[in-house]
Amino acid sequence: MSERPIQFYFRGEIRQIADAPPTRTVLQFLREDAHATGTKEGCAEGDCGACTVVIGENVGSELQLRAVNACIQFLPTLDGKALFTVEDLAGINGLGITGLLHPVQQALVDTHASQCGFCTPGFAMSLFALYENNPECPDRAAVCDALSGNLCRCTGYRPIVDAVPAAYEQPRVGLDRPAILAALAPLAVLPPLDYRAASQRFLAPRSLPELAEARLAAPDARLLAGGTDIGLWVTKQLRELGDLIYAGAVPELRAIRTDADGLFIGAGASLTDAFDALSAFEPAWTELARRFASTPVRNAGTLGGNVANGSPIGDSMPGLIAMGTQIVLQRGERVRQLPLEDFYLAYQKTALEAGEFVQALHIPPQPAERRFRTWKISKRVDQDISAVCGAFALSVVDGVVTEARIAFGGVAATPQRARTTEKFLTGKLWGQTTVDTAADVLANEYTPLDDMRASATYRRQVAGGLLHRFWLEGTAGTAPTCLAELEVLP
């Protein structure tokens, strides 16, 4: 590959960057280089949303717009894309109403939804993405989901949420998408990005064979996908990452398909797209998908990255393990599969070999008699790390458990199956007595740690309690089994 600068669409033109370190963040570029200081720095770890920007990308000849956190996105990942900030909303670069506030901004003013104003630009950008992607006014739940990564509470959420229908009452304003796609078209035919600065190399292959070759040639290089974890290594731990191989420009890794063999999710598919596919494949994923991180994090992060990271509190793994997921690994031209639970060897240690990478996840077809649920237990609903995440997949035929797959995160050094509990349940009548005894077995199967999120005792109790919840949901009919299902009285 031949070296070239980073190129992306910004403020109505193609911007070229040739001298920034590969780990310079989009936020640093905006505030220090472009002097676009409307985008704020709050937490520098993708939690508060003050730095929210919108990234535009040509996906299937359509302009896909998604809100992301600028503080943990490395600048080279913008190559071939479009960047929009809060300064763009007031008519600059294609909105066509220079000097006027965007309907979202005007609505935030009219509903008194801004107080100190520090986090308001981030709210505006999250709502701008929601507005652009929804011709009709979304419901309140969709608005709250869109704002799940914006944490300022100066005014309370009500006036901020109220701003959305107020924005839709104004004359419709939208980006000139064909013009932006036309501006991005020349970038798509450039050679793959091979960028070098500050003694670092940032390589962005554009095909699976190119990625496999690059990974074999540089097995010690850091493999980068969404950056929602690695970004913090730079902003919080001040680590030097060395050379980077970026997997986000490989179309094959972003592919998702469903066929007779099940669901295949490329390792580079965003969490947003992956969870949409999982929820369509198995609707019981919907609750966990909504509570996984926040909308900007899900837009940037990848399911393959979450799995490859190997964190004991990665919320996707228990559900995937319970469903019998196979992880697909590639090294050069060799491709192999293994059960996802066998991928984790010890704390943050996996079965990946030198020069190997995660290519995809394969979720097999589920038996008709299998019932699946997965739940995340944390201190708050939005934007929180799990204390415990549990998943259950049971097959019951004629009242007897014929197969049980149970997996948990947050209770051991790796995501793990509850094999003792599975063995106890298999062959037994699926009834209250069996569940009560199995819950005791499950509560003592793991040896969790005490930490700031939960005590070991609490985690054991939760594990057993979730099995009871799984039983109740299958027997209680319309009775509520969680607070969200309780009717709100006037």
Other CB atoms within 10 Å distance of the CB of residue 222: 17
Question: Rounded to two decimals, what is the model's pTM?
Answer: 0.94
Alpha helix ranges (H) inside 134-226: 140-146, 157-168, 177-188, 208-217
The first and second tokens of residue 376, run together, are 């995340």
Segment 10-21 mean pLDDT: 95
The first and second tokens of residue 398, run together, are 């004629």
Residues 6+ apart with CB under 8 A from 379: 387, 453
**For residue 382, is pLDDT > 50?**
yes
Confidence at residue 69, expressed as pLDDT on a 0 to 100 scale: 98
**For residue 96, is pLDDT > 50?**
no
**For residue 335, is pLDDT > 70?**
yes
| Residue 379 lies inside a defined structural domain of this protein | yes
| Residue 382 lies inside a defined structural domain of this protein | yes
For the chain, the domain total comes to 2
DSSP 191: P
Query: Residue 387 is part of a domain; what is its CATH number?
Result: 3.30.390.50
| Residue 111 lies inside a defined structural domain of this protein | yes
Confidence at residue 114, expressed as pLDDT on a 0 to 100 scale: 83
| Residue 408 lies inside a defined structural domain of this protein | yes
Confidence of residue 94 (pLDDT cuts 50, 70, 90): very low
Domain range spanning residue 172?
Answer: 6-177
In angstroms, the CA 292 to CA 385 distance is 9
In 3D space, the residue among 272, 282, 328, 324 whose CA is nearest the CA of residue 303 turns out to be 272
The first and second tokens of residue 430, run together, are 């699926």
Hey, which residues does 331 pair with through a beta bridge? 334
**Inter-CA distances, 463 with 120, 274, 446, Å:** 39, 26, 9
Query: Residue 22 is part of a domain; what is its CATH number?
Result: 3.10.20.30
Q: Which of 143, 177, 211 is the last residue of a domain?
A: 177
In angstroms, the CA 211 to CA 243 distance is 14
Q: Which of 146, 177, 208 is the last residue of a domain?
A: 177
Q: Is 94 helix (H, G, I), strand (E, B) or coil?
A: coil
In angstroms, the CA 237 to CA 292 distance is 23
Residues 6+ apart with CB under 8 A from 242: 200, 220, 221, 222
**For residue 93, is pLDDT > 70?**
no
| Residue 89 lies inside a defined structural domain of this protein | yes
Q: Which of 109, 144, 177 is the last residue of a domain?
A: 177
Contact predicate 288/375, CB 8 Å: yes
In this structure, of 248-257, 318-327, 390-399, 481-490, the range with the lowest mean pLDDT score is 481-490
| Residue 216 lies inside a defined structural domain of this protein | no
Residues 6+ apart with CB under 8 A from 142: 130, 134
Between 120-133 and 103-110, two packed helices, what is the crossing angle to 10 degrees?
Answer: 130
| Residue 170 lies inside a defined structural domain of this protein | yes
| Residue 214 lies inside a defined structural domain of this protein | no
